[in-house]
């Protein structure tokens, strides 16, 4: 019954005799195996009834001031009756108490029923036991004969029935002994003979010589008595023992169930269950409703806070930093903070008042040692500890923790820079090798086109300097598809067509890569996570008083000399900025608070331990269980999230961890492009400087003869010179002069400036497109559903997983009509229902949602988690295995094995992360490996075109110079150098226009004579 009702602490009242002591000892052993205990044993002397009730009153007074309210009375009827009479006088038969009496009370009730009203009033609400006897005709007849003989003055209790059956058992055994031919003899015992004389005269006693045989016949007895079937097991215990469970109510009692070792607690008589397989599972245990002391039908919780006149002393860390979690108010004993608000809110949900006072631990100048603080609970200095107390393995061995009220775990924080927040951000889409190869191919393509075109295309001819400018202008203008020079040769056109395709792909890829970079902020830091710290020799910071210090030394094998103790968020920022430490390891809530106040830092890598914060209580404290239930209640009603938002949701920085709020806008500022404008401005300045230098030089050269011919006059002045220069600057340059200076070419400086400006325009337009795409992409992640508030205020249908507690939660806590809820059975059904509009949203637990999002794309989490709980393994109430498993799980978390198991099963993903987070190693730069196939294709085309071209030009050279070689007799002076010089001159010479016309005509005639098949 104790286990059934969930009590874990009882008090025993019993007499100082062997039977009572042995019974209570056996009970204690059994309870200990079920994570229960007898917290106090009140032993009463055998003569307590004869002397006075003073000792009973003293023990009851002690019990009244204790925590446990479950009292077991295992004594004699007279003593037990006096105990209840005195308990009634002390007010201990009121609501909140639980009294369980052993079989002595039912024997009293059966023998003297009905009891006088005064005596029955003292035992109302008590539970008691009676040895179960089966209903049978033999039993009814015997009871009827007894009542007739006694005239109803004395009732027949179960011990009387067993006494009657015992007589028959002995008679059967004696008969069996005689039938076996044994003689009944007695002999004296030497031990008893030595005790001859005295009052008792024990020496006159004799020993039954056939005792062992007689006992064997007794054990072998099988009969049906008034108590039912009588049979013994080999260990001499009764077969199929069972008890009736009785509740004293009104002026009598009622039976609320049965107990047997076959099926445990049941409302069905045990004999009806013996034909079925044994089933003692917790789900199969049942009793009828009980009327408890005080007349209540609500099961008492079985304990109260000790009524010793003092409040609970709650230890609170007197922190010097991170005071949002817990701190004293203006140096007084009054405390406030996130942890305090959670504790007070949980206490309000308890069904009983908890008088308490907070006691500060520490001097407030530095953070206290939390291990010492927790130890003070186990030593009794504090009744509990409230604050930012991490639940770790070494602490859970000495105290009990509540359900975690906030998730925690060690993370690494380091200084970072945003990769798309630099003056050269426009270079980010491509890697340096990609930029270099692209620039090289621009030059290669320009050179190839020049080779293929310069003999037949006037636009690719001229002085060497002019041709170089033409090559550069032509090839780089293809970037903008604005090249002015026409290509004449077929090979040139093929190469140019392929190159324009390559340029199109490269510019599109640049825009796409820049879009990706702008969509997700990327952070740069040499620290990638805990693995970086373990493999490096850099110094690492930790918070004073945190368990992170010992964890890094014991688990991560980081030398103590590398660790630096830091006392506040400001010290964190200073140490990271000036390089005192390269990273800081601390618990996630502290880091979140630090990042909300100081900018330029971010979490690197994943949390490498997973735990939580809880409130610490002494081992086996029932208050820890009730507080855990209250914390879960806070989570399910959303109060826990509101308290979190009150204390921990402020932020002075944009989120550097890669996530976007709905209002984040990735607008590009001038800081991202000032390097580009600087480059363009410098080019313009240099071009203008060179231009003005040249025009001034030309002005001086053109006006020098005029100035020498004219005699200076007093009227001449600097204004005339300036006026003449401006007129010369504005005048159009003579066409013939320009032709002489440069064969039909435009300004080289103008081309250079224009080329650079076109590059700037390309980058800006690509960046604009990328930024707009990024904004639209983030907006597409938006939805009419913003979070749970939207669901509560709308009439849309909402999905939930079949079997999940989310259904009842939405109905009971969020007041969402059941008709709006749609049960879904699998991730595929989730996706289908969301896509076809069957539901507007789905409410499910975070691990299921994460797994769903890793498999199905186009969905995202909306809003914050509105409940906070966790998953665990279930064991029977107060199972010692549950405690050991909790310790083992904390061990897995602290060694990182839990994270590895999580990564094995839950880190797969078929989708890009729509929630905006990126791993530290994600690189959105496009490298050469992404385009080598494209460059290879372009290079092969250039090679083939050049190969064909050189084959043709060599053939033409041989044909054109063959007659000349035959007419000239070779001389010793001729050499290969002459031939090479002649070939290069032929290669550079412009192809004869008439020859080209004849070639085209010949090709035309051939096409007419041999038309292409249709």
3-state DSSP of 373-391:
HHHHHHCCCCCEEEEEEEC
pLDDT band at 917 (very low <50, low <70, confident <90, very high): very low
**Which tokens sit at 211?**
């005792």
pLDDT at 426 over 60: yes
The number of residues making up the chain comes to 1014
971 or 267, which is more confident?
267
- The reported pLDDT for the residue numbered 198 is 61
365 or 14, which is more confident?
14
Q: How many CB atoms lie within 10 A of CB 755?
A: 18
First-to-last alpha carbon distance for the chain, in angstroms, is: 100
pLDDT averaged over every residue in the chain:
80
- The reported pLDDT for the residue numbered 663 is 41
What is the C-alpha to C-alpha distance for residues 825 and 823, in angstroms, rounded to an integer?
Answer: 7
- The reported pLDDT for the residue numbered 742 is 44
448 or 785, which is more confident?
785
What is the C-alpha to C-alpha distance for residues 262 and 241, in angstroms, rounded to an integer?
Answer: 9
pLDDT band at 912 (very low <50, low <70, confident <90, very high): low
605 Rama sector, left if φ>0, alpha if ψ -120 to 50, beta otherwise:
left
- The reported pLDDT for the residue numbered 805 is 85
- The reported pLDDT for the residue numbered 480 is 61
Q: Strand pairing partners for 413?
A: 584, 603
Q: Are 268 and 245 in contact (CB under 8 A)?
A: no
Q: Strand pairing partners for 11?
A: 40, 71
764 or 778, which is more confident?
764
What is the C-alpha to C-alpha distance for residues 242 and 229, in angstroms, rounded to an integer?
Answer: 12
- The reported pLDDT for the residue numbered 998 is 47
- The reported pLDDT for the residue numbered 974 is 56
pLDDT digits (tens, 9 = 90+) for 697-708: 877 887 665 555
**Which tokens sit at 150?**
């006694």
pLDDT band at 830 (very low <50, low <70, confident <90, very high): very high
Q: State residue 43 phi and psi, 5-degree precision.
A: -100, 125
Domains in the chain (CATH in brackets) are 1-134+231-309 (3.40.50.2300), 157-226 (no CATH), 324-407 (no CATH), 948-1009 (no CATH)
Q: What is 509-526 written as a DSSP string? A: HHHHHHHHHHHS--EE-S
Rounded (5°) CA angle 305-310-315: 85
pLDDT band at 914 (very low <50, low <70, confident <90, very high): very low
Mean pLDDT, residues 765-784 taken together: 60
How distant is the alpha carbon of residue 221 from its chain centre?
Answer: 65
pLDDT at 1006 over 60: no
**Whose CA is closest to 770, among 853, 894, 868, 673?**
673
pLDDT at 401 over 80: yes
What is the C-alpha to C-alpha distance for residues 436 and 639, in angstroms, rounded to an integer?
Answer: 58
pLDDT band at 915 (very low <50, low <70, confident <90, very high): very low
Q: Are 66 and 41 in contact (CB under 8 A)?
A: no
What is the C-alpha to C-alpha distance for residues 697 and 774, in angstroms, rounded to an integer?
Answer: 52
183 or 744, which is more confident?
183
What is the C-alpha to C-alpha distance for residues 415 and 573, in angstroms, rounded to an integer?
Answer: 9
DSSP one-letter code for 860: -
- The reported pLDDT for the residue numbered 26 is 92
pLDDT digits (tens, 9 = 90+) for 124-169: 999 999 999 999 999 999 999 998 888 877 888 999 999 999 999 9
What is the C-alpha to C-alpha distance for residues 799 and 323, in angstroms, rounded to an integer?
Answer: 41
- The reported pLDDT for the residue numbered 386 is 96
What is the C-alpha to C-alpha distance for residues 248 and 73, in angstroms, rounded to an integer?
Answer: 15
pLDDT band at 560 (very low <50, low <70, confident <90, very high): very high
- The reported pLDDT for the residue numbered 377 is 94
Which strand (E) or helix (H) includes residue 222?
Answer: strand 222-225
pLDDT band at 827 (very low <50, low <70, confident <90, very high): very high
956 or 829, which is more confident?
829
Give CB contacts under 8 A, 24+ apart, made by 628-632: 628/402, 628/403, 629/403, 630/346, 630/347, 630/349, 630/350, 631/342, 631/346, 631/402, 631/403, 631/405, 632/403, 632/869
Q: Which of 50-54, 429-433, 505-509, 909-913 has the lowest mean pLDDT?
A: 909-913
pLDDT digits (tens, 9 = 90+) for 13-44: 999 899 899 999 999 998 887 778 899 999 99
Mean pLDDT, residues 421-429 taken together: 68
pLDDT at 923 over 60: no
Which strand (E) or helix (H) includes residue 759?
Answer: helix 748-780
Contacts of 442 (CB under 8 A, 6+ apart): 475, 476, 478, 479
Judged by DSSP in three states, 919 sits in coil
Q: Which of 59-63, 489-493, 638-642 has the lowest mean pLDDT?
A: 489-493
- The reported pLDDT for the residue numbered 484 is 60
- The reported pLDDT for the residue numbered 522 is 57
Give the rounded percent of residues in the chain with a pLDDT score beyond 90.
31
- The reported pLDDT for the residue numbered 933 is 64
Task: Give the residue carrying structure tokens 């009603």.
Answer: 637
pLDDT at 963 over 60: no
Q: State residue 151 phi and psi, 5-degree precision.
A: 55, 25
- The reported pLDDT for the residue numbered 412 is 93
pLDDT at 336 over 70: yes
Q: Which of 515-524, 871-880, 910-919, 948-957 has the lowest mean pLDDT?
A: 910-919
List of E strands, 342-427: 356-361, 384-390, 400-401, 406-408, 410-415, 417-418
pLDDT digits (tens, 9 = 90+) for 647-677: 988 777 755 444 444 444 445 555 655 665 5
417 or 59, which is more confident?
59
Q: Are 818 and 811 in contact (CB under 8 A)?
A: yes
Judged by DSSP in three states, 552 sits in helix
């Amino acid at each position: 019954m104790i286990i059934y009702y969930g009590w874990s602490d009882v008090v025993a009242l019993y007499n100082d005799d062997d039977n009572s002591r042995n019974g209570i000892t056996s009970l204690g052993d059994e309870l200990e195996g079920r994570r229960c205990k007898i917290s106090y044993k009140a032993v009463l002397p055998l003569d307590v009834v004869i002397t006075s009730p003073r000792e009973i009153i003293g023990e009851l007074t002690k019990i009244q001031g204790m925590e446990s309210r479950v009292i077991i009375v295992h004594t004699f009827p007279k003593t037990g009756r006096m105990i209840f009479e005195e308990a009634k006088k002390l007010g201990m038969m009121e609501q909140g108490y639980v009294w369980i009496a052993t079989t002595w009370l039912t024997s009293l009730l059966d023998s003297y029923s009905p009891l006088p009203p005064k005596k029955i009033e003292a035992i109302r609400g008590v539970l008691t036991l009676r040895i179960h006897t089966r209903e049978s005709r033999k039993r009814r007849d015997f009871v009827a004969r007894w009542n007739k003989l006694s005239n109803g003055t004395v009732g027949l209790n179960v011990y009387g029935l067993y006494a009657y059956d015992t007589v028959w058992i002995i008679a059967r055994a004696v008969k069996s002994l005689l039938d076996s031919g044994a003689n009944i003899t007695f002999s004296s015992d030497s031990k008893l003979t030595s005790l001859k004389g005295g009052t008792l005269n024990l020496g006159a006693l004799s020993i039954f010589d056939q005792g062992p045989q007689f006992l064997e016949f007794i054990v072998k007895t099988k009969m049906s008595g008034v108590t039912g079937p009588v049979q013994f097991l080999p260990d001499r215990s009764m077969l199929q023992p069972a008890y009736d469970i009785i509740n004293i109510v009104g002026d009598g009692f009622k039976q609320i169930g049965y107990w047997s070792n076959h099926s445990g607690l049941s409302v069905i008589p045990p004999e009806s269950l013996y034909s079925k397989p044994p089933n003692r599972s917790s789900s199969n245990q049942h009793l009828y409703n009980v009327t408890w002391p005080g007349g209540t039908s609500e099961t008492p919780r079985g304990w109260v806070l000790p009524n010793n006149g003092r409040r609970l002393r709650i230890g609170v860390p007197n922190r010097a930093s991170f005071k949002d979690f817990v701190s004293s108010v203006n140096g007084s004993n009054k405390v406030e903070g996130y942890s305090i608000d959670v504790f007070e809110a949980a206490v309000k949900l308890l069904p009983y008042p908890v008088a308490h006072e907070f006691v500060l631990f520490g001097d407030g100048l530095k953070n206290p040692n939390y291990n010492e603080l927790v130890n003070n609970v186990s030593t009794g200095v504090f009744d509990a500890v409230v604050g930012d107390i991490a639940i770790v393995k070494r602490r859970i061995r000495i105290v009990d923790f509540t359900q975690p009220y906030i998730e925690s775990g060690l993370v690494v924080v380091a200084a970072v820079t945003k990769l798309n927040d630099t003056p050269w951000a426009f270079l980010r889409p491509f890697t340096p090798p990609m930029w270099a190869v692209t620039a090289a191919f621009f030059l290669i393509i320009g050179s190839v086109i020049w080779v293929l075109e310069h003999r037949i295309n006037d636009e690719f001819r001229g002085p060497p300097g002019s041709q170089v400018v033409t090559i550069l202008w032509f090839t780089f203008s293809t970037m903008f598809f604005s090249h002015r020079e026409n290509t004449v040769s077929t090979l040139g056109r093929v190469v140019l067509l392929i190159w324009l395709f390559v340029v199109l792909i490269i510019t599109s890829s640049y825009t796409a890569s820049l879009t990706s970079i702008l969509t997700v902020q990327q952070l740069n830091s040499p620290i990638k996570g805990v693995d970086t710290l373990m493999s490096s020799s850099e110094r690492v910071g930790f918070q004073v008083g945190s368990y992170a210090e010992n964890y890094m030394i014991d688990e991560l094998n980081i030398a103590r000399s590398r660790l630096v103790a830091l006392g506040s968020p400001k010290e964190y920022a200073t140490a990271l900025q000036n390089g005192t430490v390269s990273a800081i390891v601390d618990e996630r809530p502290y880091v979140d608070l630090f990042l909300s106040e100081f900018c330029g830092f971010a979490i690197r890598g994943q949390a490498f331990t997973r735990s939580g914060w809880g409130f610490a209580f002494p081992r086996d404290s029932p208050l820890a269980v009730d507080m855990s239930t209250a914390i879960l209640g806070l989570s399910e009603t959303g109060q826990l999230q509101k308290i979190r938002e009150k204390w921990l949701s402020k932020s002075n920085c944009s989120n550097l961890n890669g996530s976007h709020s709905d209002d984040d806008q990735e607008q590009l500022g001038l800081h991202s492009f000032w390097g580009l404008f600087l480059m363009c401005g410098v080019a313009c300045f240099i071009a203008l400087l060179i231009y003005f230098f040249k025009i001034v030089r030309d002005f001086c050269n053109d006006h020098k003869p005029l100035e020498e011919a004219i005699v200076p006059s007093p009227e001449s002045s600097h204004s005339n010179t300036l006026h003449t220069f401006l007129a010369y600057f504005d005048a159009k340059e003579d066409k013939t002069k320009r032709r002489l200076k440069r064969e039909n070419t435009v300004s080289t400086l103008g081309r250079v400036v224009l080329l650079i400006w076109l590059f700037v325009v390309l980058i800006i337009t690509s960046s604009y497109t990328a930024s707009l795409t990024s904004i639209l992409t983030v907006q597409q992640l938006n939805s009419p559903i913003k979070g749970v508030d939207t669901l509560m205020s709308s009439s849309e249908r909402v999905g939930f997983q079949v079997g999940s507690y989310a259904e009842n939660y939405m109905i009971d806590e969020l007041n969402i009509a059941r008709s709006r809820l749609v049960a879904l059975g699998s991730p595929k059904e989730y996706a289908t229902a969301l896509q076809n509009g069957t539901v507007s949203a789905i409410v499910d637990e975070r691990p299921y949602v994460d797994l769903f999002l890793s498999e199905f794309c186009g969905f995202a989490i909306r809003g914050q988690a509105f409940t906070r709980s966790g998953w665990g393994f279930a064991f029977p109430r107060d199972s010692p295995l549950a405690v050991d498993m909790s310790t083992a799980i904390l061990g897995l978390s602290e060694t990182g094995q839990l994270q590895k198991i999580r990564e094995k099963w839950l880190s797969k993903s078929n989708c890009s992360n729509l929630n905006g987070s990126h791993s530290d190693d994600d690189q959105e730069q496009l490298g050469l490996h992404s385009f080598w196939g494209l460059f290879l294709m372009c290079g092969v085309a250039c090679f083939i075109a050049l190969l064909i071209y050189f084959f043709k030009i060599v053939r033409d050279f041989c044909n054109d110079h063959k007659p000349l070689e035959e007419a000239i007799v070779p001389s010793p002076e001729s050499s290969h150098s002459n031939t090479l010089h002649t070939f290069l001159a032929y290669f550079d010479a412009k192809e004869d226009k008439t020859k080209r016309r004849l070639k085209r005509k010949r090709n035309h005639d051939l096409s007419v004579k041999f038309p292409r098949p249709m």
